[in-house]
A and B are shown apart, each in its own frame.
Chain A
Amino acid sequence: DIQMTQSPSSLSASVGDRVAITCRASQSIRTYLNWYQQKRGKAPKLLIYAASSLQSGVPSRFSGSGSGTDFTLTISSLQPEDFATYYCQQSYSAPRTFGPGTKVDIK
């Protein structure tokens, strides 16, 4: 199985801050990497697929980059509705695996 790690596990930030979350795969997954946002009590929501493609309807302040084993999700200017937990997920091979999540809360 491909193991996914994320850092940091949590962070505190203010509205307007630029935030970056990193994800690392245990082997190369090319660009088969997705990012999801999950708010408390809700299902995850797809933000970024194929490492850098913005899902339809997702604000442009979200962006993704990386390939191989190292990836980054960036929120250019944090908004109140962005406080949530973010997960990366690889779709390079089965079993699909997720990172442990990064919780973004209000400073």
Chain B
Amino acid sequence: QVRLQESGPGLVKPSQTLSLTCTVSGGSISSGGYYWSWIRQHPGKGLEWIGYISYSGSTNYNPALKSRVTISVDTSKNQFSLKLSSVTAADTAVYYCARDSPSGFLEWYSFDYWGQGILVTVSS
């Protein structure tokens, strides 16, 4: 059973960099074909995809956040990480990590495993 667990500070000051790590257990992050994603949810709102990384390090970011986002992977620790720079109160959200998994010959991707989420509050 694959498990994902987010970790990092729950409080970040405005203008600083939000840094979170997702630890994957029950499976190798180096298994081919998956993308490892970050998704956030503002309080009481819907879901926003931030970006993903493959085990080889190729990335794809949401254009709305691209200038501030860096996602990296550490296969030796079975972890991937999110950095979001120059945060404001608008970045206050629950941040989820998730596995984007392909199915079938047409590679239908879906988020089949999720972490429990971590609330990050941006406040001085």
Contact = CB atoms under 8 A, between A and B. Distances in A.
A binds B: yes
Interface of A: 1, 31-32, 34, 36, 42-46, 49-50, 53, 55, 87, 89, 91, 94-101
A53 B49 contact: no
Contacts of B116: 42-43
B113 to A, nearest CB: 8
Main SS at interface, chain B: strand
24 contacts: A1-B63, A31-B108, A32-B108, A43-B117, A44-B114, A45-B114, A46-B110, A49-B103, A50-B108, A53-B103, A53-B104, A55-B112, A87-B47, A89-B110, A91-B110, A94-B60, A95-B51, A95-B62, A96-B100, A96-B109, A98-B47, A98-B48, A98-B49, A100-B46
Measured as residues with beta carbon below 8 angstroms from the partner, the interface class of chain B is 20 to 34
